[in-house]
Each structure stands twice: as structure tokens, then as C-alpha cells.
Amino acid sequence: MSIVTTRTDGRFVGTQFSAPERREAGILLRWAKRVIRQIQIQRQRRVLESMPDWILKDVGISRSDIDSISISLVDGSPDELSAAAPADPGRRAIRP
């Protein structure tokens, strides 16, 4: 049960939540973040899978790397992305 707090002059100060309510809100927030992350990964995977092989090869991605690259793009871990970059020193790696 939430508690609404007001000052003596009648102005609203804030709302306090009990420990179980805060715990439930935290669980719901973590679940929502996981769902959003999975949707973003699936979206990236679909985009990469729809590209022709010559484009993937041009950017240095093989079809077997699509899953890990999709996760890296969503999570923003540049180590995975640089590992998939072309080995040609004259070309630069693509950063998100």
C-alpha cells in the first residue's frame, strides 16, 4: 500500500512505497528491460539476415557471426564488433 504524504500547508510532498511494492516494481522493471533487449536483438538479427552475402562479406561479417554481432550491437560492446571487423588494415571497423 502506498502512502501519500502532504505537508501541513496541504502541498503534496511525495509517495512512499512499502518494501514489497518496491521489490515488485524492481522485478517488473528488470523483466521489461529484458523483453525490450530481446526485441532489439531480434530486430538486429532480422536486418543482418536480410542482407546479401556480398554486403556481409564487405563489412566483415559471416552468417555464423550474426547472432553474436546482433547481441553486441544491442549491448554496445565494441570488443565483439572489432573482432568481426575486416582484417584489411586499409579499412576501418564500423562502430555503432
For 7-46, write each residue's pLDDT tens digit.
667 676 666 677 777 888 888 899 999 999 999 999 999 9
- Flag whether the pTM goes above 0.85: no
**Whether pLDDT at 89 is above 60:** no
HSE-up (13 A, CA, CB side) for residue 41: 14
State how far Cα 7 lies from the chain centre.
41
Residue ranges of E strands in the chain? 3-6, 12-16
So what's the pLDDT on residue 10?
Answer: 65
**Whether pLDDT at 91 is above 90:** no
Every domain of the chain and the residues it spans: 19-83
**29: Cβ contacts below 8 Å, ≥ 6 apart:** none
